[in-house]
């Protein structure tokens, strides 16, 4: 029996004319591990939703063709039946966890299926064992790390003992160590229990060694459906679509050192002096007595595991948080008593979720928002807006609504909107999340070009070693809120002990 | 007792909220409303809120009390009314002539105190439920109270997302300020537009989170139609304290309704009993 059979599947979302999926045909055998990749917006998530029955059961729109799981058409059987055969793990653990305690979360699905309490207990123990979280039953989910949360989410669907596991970019929010943990667990479920796996990702290099079948999508269609051994023989199709290719780019260890940079600048643009920060309701400091200096023109990566304090440090530099102790000096002046609007033009930040910045009706007014607040003269304002749109290749989208654009384009709009103020220090939080290689490279190339041209400073937080190696002059490595390394990327990635300590080794 | 009180069953909490909601509408006397408000404070105190929650609640209470008393004091339009302070005399050019003078009325302040006690009591009990109840317990309790599954899930999800929404709202506001926007500025039109614009990313985020969570729970077999038929790992039983509290509150509510009905009949000439004079006095003075 074939676990998954997809026949001529097409789907069009309501209010759209162009189908998001078009003529998909595929078969998956028991115990297959499928790597599903493609550019952002190509239809990967939609295909997974159609495979577990969310389309059409929880979505309107037009569906033609069929998805059969063990010969049953998922469109014709209730979701409560399908979910016992096909489980779907979502991208962001925070969006899918409903309960407060680990045990309750794992029990949730089984309770919906009316399992008796003693059977639920049994399944919880087994599921926690499968994801390596034995003993976590009574832990509060809010207190877990990002990787642990994703493992709880995985346990909550494993408890239902599905035959097919669908994973939608399950590691995009995770650091390398947590990524490795999750992928390892998925591989074990695949090989030891025989669960069929379909995993979507942009991080092809990490998943390719585990899979045996590769699906490549573009514009809602399959461009490639081949066993792994054949799929990567000619990588041009991947490259043309801007999708990452395994083992073709230089691995971190073979990267040559960049020209030396001055890590102890004489006239720093930014001085961070012994800052610590503790979140309300927390006993431990998220950032612990960090000191560093950054000069004009530098591009700096902040790396570290989930929860190591990267985002907190960016928010402290950006003035969004005030340090509990220590001080931050920007261009010779302390930022302590400054109001946020007084830092406009000095510091700009783009969050991990760029959508939080998008508040205007059009891309043009989004880019205009900052300079307008600084009361620029109309002719100068016009020049700034036109130039910024051109610099970030957004001129054609000027009159579009930001929310109508793709995720990659929205991030570029957020970057352009922040850059239009020409801040001395540009802060960028985890730019890789949900981005394909092509969009990421385009955005980073444009931003770094502008930063270098204008002699500004860019500080970005990331888990991505390749991004750091390609763009950063200097790297700060954080571990449990402490700055444990400040030096060149080459020196950082040559130090295996450091990478282990910072959970950056994959 | 204190330990027991922090673990009231979720159904009891919901019923307390419903009874208190009725009481604050029925009661008119500041003394009775103050008693209700103080009782709600006792309830939240024994649920052991964190210092941050206490601070947040205090800020809410201060602002709502001040806002209600001040606005009622100024805009009170019933009679009789006694002027306490004249803010803008009627002779004052333009504003005075246009508004007929702006004054603070004693009866308005009194009315504001009553309204703020009503509002604050429900606010405190709402916070008590949100801060002391886990989402799954609330979902279970609403199901046991025969609330339709879809409605129960919506209520639970809304509460589940309060901290997320608050966090994102702070991020949106801070990012706007970091882009030079001032929420407090002379150009009121720009301020209002900025505030409206800040709702866009917050709303979009809410929709995205709610959609993802909805799909996640549906993928795990949850259906609003069958929400009341779910089994439960944890059994939730009301014990004698829950029953006692519900019985006491229900008794109070029934008595107050009865007394109010009798007083209404007397005040409107529908029924008068001389043997009930004590009841009428009590209702007028105390309730």
Mean pLDDT of chain A: 87
Yes or no, beta carbons of B135 and A100 under 8 Å apart: yes
CA dihedral (A178, A179, A180, A185) positive or negative:
positive
| pLDDT score, position B85 | 85
| pLDDT score, position A251 | 43
More confident residue, A220 or B225: A220
Yes or no, beta carbons of A113 and B221 under 8 Å apart: yes
Q: How far is CA A278 from CA A284, A303, A482, in A?
A: 6, 20, 13
Q: Which of A477, A496, A478, A497 has the alpha carbon at shortest distance from A487?
A: A477
Yes or no, beta carbons of A58 and B214 under 8 Å apart: yes
Residue A389 CA to residue A397 CA, distance in Å, equals 9
Residue B252 CA to residue B249 CA, distance in Å, equals 5
Yes or no, beta carbons of A79 and B171 under 8 Å apart: no
Asked whether residue A253 carries a pLDDT value surpassing 50, the answer given is no
Range of lowest pLDDT (A239-253, A392-406, B115-129):
A239-253
The mean pLDDT of A409-434, rounded to a whole number, is 90
CB A492 within 8 A of CB A498: yes
More confident residue, B81 or A422: A422
| pLDDT score, position B81 | 84
Q: How confident is the model at residue B100 (pLDDT cuts 50, 70, 90)?
A: confident
- Domain borders along chain B are 1-133, 134-253
Please tell me what DSSP assigns to residue A259.
Answer: S
- B175, B182, B189, best to mutate vs chain A, most A CBs in 10 Å: B175
Q: Which two tokens stand for residue A245?
A: 């290719």
- Residues 239-278 in B contacting A (C-alpha not used; CB under 8 Å): none
Residue A166 CA to residue A298 CA, distance in Å, equals 42
Asked whether residue A232 carries a pLDDT value surpassing 80, the answer given is yes
| pLDDT score, position B231 | 85
Q: What is the CA radius of gyration of chain A?
A: 24
Asked whether residue A299 carries a pLDDT value surpassing 90, the answer given is yes
Q: Which two tokens stand for residue A130?
A: 């499968």
Residue A400 CA to residue A398 CA, distance in Å, equals 6
Mark residue A71 as left, alpha or beta (left: phi above 0; alpha: psi -120 to 50; beta: remaining): left
More confident residue, A496 or B228: A496
Q: How confident is the model at residue B5 (pLDDT cuts 50, 70, 90)?
A: very low
- β-strands A21-28, A72-73 pairing: unpaired
> Nearest 5 degrees, angle CA A302-CA B170-CA A299?
20
Asked whether this complex has an ipTM greater than 0.85, the answer is no
The mean pLDDT of B219-232, rounded to a whole number, is 80
| pLDDT score, position A259 | 52
| pLDDT score, position A258 | 56
| pLDDT score, position A144 | 82
Range of lowest pLDDT (A318-327, A439-448, B186-195):
B186-195
The mean pLDDT of B73-93, rounded to a whole number, is 85
SS3 assignment for chain B: CHHHHCCCCHHHHHHHHHHHHHHHHHCCCHHHHHHHHHHHHHHHHHCCCCHHHHHHHHHHHHHHHHHHHHHHHHHCCCCCCCEEEEEECCCCCCHHHHHCCEEEEHHHHHHHHHHHHHHHHHHHHHHHHHHHCCHHHHHHHHHHCCCCHHHHHHHHHHHHCHHHHHHHHHHHHHHHHHCCCCCCCCCHHHHHHHHHHHHHHHHHHHHHHHHHHHHHHHHCCCCHHHHHHCCCCCCCCCCHHHHHHHHHHHHHHHHHHHHHHHHHHHHCCCCCCHHHHHHHHHHHHHC
| pLDDT score, position A252 | 45
Q: How confident is the model at residue A100 (pLDDT cuts 50, 70, 90)?
A: confident
Query: A329-377, pLDDT tens digit by residue?
Result: 998 888 877 888 888 889 999 998 888 899 998 999 999 999 988 888 8
Residue A277 CA to residue A366 CA, distance in Å, equals 32
Query: A370-380, pLDDT tens digit by residue?
Result: 998 888 889 99
Residue A212 CA to residue A354 CA, distance in Å, equals 35
Asked whether residue B186 carries a pLDDT value surpassing 80, the answer given is no
The mean pLDDT of A27-50, rounded to a whole number, is 91
- β-strands A213-218, A221-227 pairing: antiparallel
Q: Which residue of A has its CA nearest to B234?
A: A117
A chain contacts of residue B198, beta-carbon cutoff 8 Å: 359
B chain contacts of residue A90, beta-carbon cutoff 8 Å: 212, 215-216
Q: How confident is the model at residue B37 (pLDDT cuts 50, 70, 90)?
A: very high
* Phi and psi angles of residue B143, each rounded to the nearest 5 degrees, phi first: -60, -45
Closest approach of A307 to chain B, Cα-based (Å): 17
Asked whether residue A471 carries a pLDDT value surpassing 90, the answer given is yes
The mean pLDDT of A248-272, rounded to a whole number, is 58
Q: How confident is the model at residue B3 (pLDDT cuts 50, 70, 90)?
A: very low
B chain contacts of residue A80, beta-carbon cutoff 8 Å: 221, 223, 226
Q: Which of B48, B35, B43 has the alpha carbon at shortest distance from B256?
A: B35
Yes or no, beta carbons of B233 and A370 under 8 Å apart: no
Q: How confident is the model at residue A382 (pLDDT cuts 50, 70, 90)?
A: very high
Query: A496-505, pLDDT tens digit by residue?
Result: 888 888 877 7
- Spell out the domains of chain A, with CATH numbers in brackets: 92-161 (no CATH), 297-322+337-501 (3.40.50.300)
* Phi and psi angles of residue B158, each rounded to the nearest 5 degrees, phi first: -60, -45
Yes or no, beta carbons of A95 and B200 under 8 Å apart: no
A chain contacts of residue B237, beta-carbon cutoff 8 Å: none
CB A133 within 8 A of CB A148: yes
């Amino acid at each position: 029996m074939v676990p998954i059979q997809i026949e001529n599947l097409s789907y069009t979302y309501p209010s759209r004319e162009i189908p998001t999926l078009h003529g998909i045909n595929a078969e998956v055998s028991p115990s297959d591990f499928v790597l599903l990749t493609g550019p952002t917006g190509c239809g990967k998530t939609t295909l997974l939703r159609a495979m577990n029955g969310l389309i059409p059961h929880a979505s309107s729109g037009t569906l033609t063709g069929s998805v059969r799981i063990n010969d049953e058409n998922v469109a014709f059987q209730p979701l409560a039946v399908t979910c016992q055969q096909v489980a779907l793990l979502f991208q962001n653990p925070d969006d899918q966890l409903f309960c407060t305690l680990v045990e309750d979360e794992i029990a949730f699905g089984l309770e919906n299926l009316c399992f008796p309490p003693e059977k639920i207990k049994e399944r919880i123990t087994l599921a926690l064992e499968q994801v390596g979280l034995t003993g976590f039953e009574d832990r509060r989910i809010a207190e877990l790390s990002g990787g642990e949360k994703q493992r709880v989410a995985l346990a909550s669907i494993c408890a239902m003992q599905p035959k097919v596991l669908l994973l939608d970019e399950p590691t995009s929010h995770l650091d390398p160590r947590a990524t490795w943990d999750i992928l390892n667990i998925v591989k074990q479920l695949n090989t030891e229990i025989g669960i069929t796996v379909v995993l979507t990702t942009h991080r092809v290099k990490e998943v390719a060694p585990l899979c045996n079948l590769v699906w490549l999508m573009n514009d809602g269609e399959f461009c490639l459906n081949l066993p792994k051994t054949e799929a990567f023989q000619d990588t041009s199709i991947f490259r043309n679509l801007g999708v990452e290719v395994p083992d073709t780019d230089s691995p971190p260890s073979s990267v040559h050192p960049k020209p030396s940079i001055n890590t102890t600048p004489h006239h720093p643009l930014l001085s961070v002096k012994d800052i610590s920060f503790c979140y309300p309701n927390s006993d431990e400091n998220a950032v612990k007595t960090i000191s560093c200096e950054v000069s004009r023109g530098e591009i700096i990566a902040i790396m570290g595991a989930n929860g190591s304090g990267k985002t907190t440090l960016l928010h402290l530099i950006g003035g969004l948080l005030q340090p509990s102790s220590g001080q931050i000096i920007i261009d010779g002046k302390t930022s302590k008593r400054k109001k946020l609007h007084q830092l406009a033009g000095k510091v700009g930040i783009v969050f991990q979720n760029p959508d939080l910045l998008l508040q205007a009706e059009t891309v043009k007014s989004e880019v205009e928002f900052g300079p307008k607040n600084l009361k620029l003269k109309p002719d100068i304002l016009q020049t700034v807006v036109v130039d910024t749109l051109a610099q970030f290749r957004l001129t054609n989208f000027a009159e579009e609504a930001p929310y109508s654009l793709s995720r990659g384009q929205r991030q570029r709009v957020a970057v352009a909107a922040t850059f239009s103020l020409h801040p001395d220090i540009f802060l960028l939080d985890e730019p890789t999340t949900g981005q394909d290689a092509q969009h990421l490279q385009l955005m980073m190339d444009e931003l770094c070009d502008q930063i270098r041209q204008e002699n500004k400073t860019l500080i970005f937080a990331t888990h991505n070693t390749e991004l750091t190696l390609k763009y950063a002059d200097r790297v700060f490595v954080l571990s449990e809120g402490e700055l444990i390394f400040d030096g060149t990327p080459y020196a950082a990635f040559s130090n295996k002990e450091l990478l282990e300590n910072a959970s950056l080794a994959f | 007792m204190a330990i027991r009180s922090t673990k009231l069953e979720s159904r009891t909490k919901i019923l307390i909220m419903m009874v208190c909601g009725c009481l604050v509408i029925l009661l008119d006397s500041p003394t009775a409303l103050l008693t209700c408000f103080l009782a709600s404070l006792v309830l939240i105190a024994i649920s052991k809120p964190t210092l941050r929650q206490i601070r947040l609640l205090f800020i809410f209470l201060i602002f709502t009390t001040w806002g209600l008393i001040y606005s009622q004091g100024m805009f009170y339009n019933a009679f009789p009314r006694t002027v306490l302070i004249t803010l803008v005399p009627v002779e004052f050019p333009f504003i005075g002539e246009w508004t007929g003078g702006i004054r603070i009325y004693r009866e308005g302040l009194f009315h504001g105190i009553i309204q703020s006690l009503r509002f604050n009591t429900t606010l405190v009990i709402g916070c008590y439920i949100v801060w002391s109840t886990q989402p799954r317990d609330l979902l279970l309790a609403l199901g046991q109270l025969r609330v339709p599954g879809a409605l129960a899930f919506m209520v639970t999800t809304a509460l589940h997302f309060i901290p997320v929404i608050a966090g994102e709202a702070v991020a949106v506001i801070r990012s706007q300020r970091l882009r030079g926007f001032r929420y407090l500025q002379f150009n009121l039109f720009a301020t209002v537009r900025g505030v409206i614009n800040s709702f866009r990313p917050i709303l979009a985020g809410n929709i995205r989170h709610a959609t993802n969570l909805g799909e996640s729970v549906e993928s795990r077999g949850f259906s609003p139609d069958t929400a009341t038929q779910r089994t439960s790992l944890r059994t939730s039983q009301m014990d004698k304290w829950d029953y006692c509290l519900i019985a006491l509150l229900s008794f109070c509510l029934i008595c107050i309704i009865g007394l109010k009905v009798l007083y209404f009949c007397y005040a409107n000439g529908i029924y008068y009993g001389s043997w009930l004079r004590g009841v009428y006095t009590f209702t007028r003075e105390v309730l």
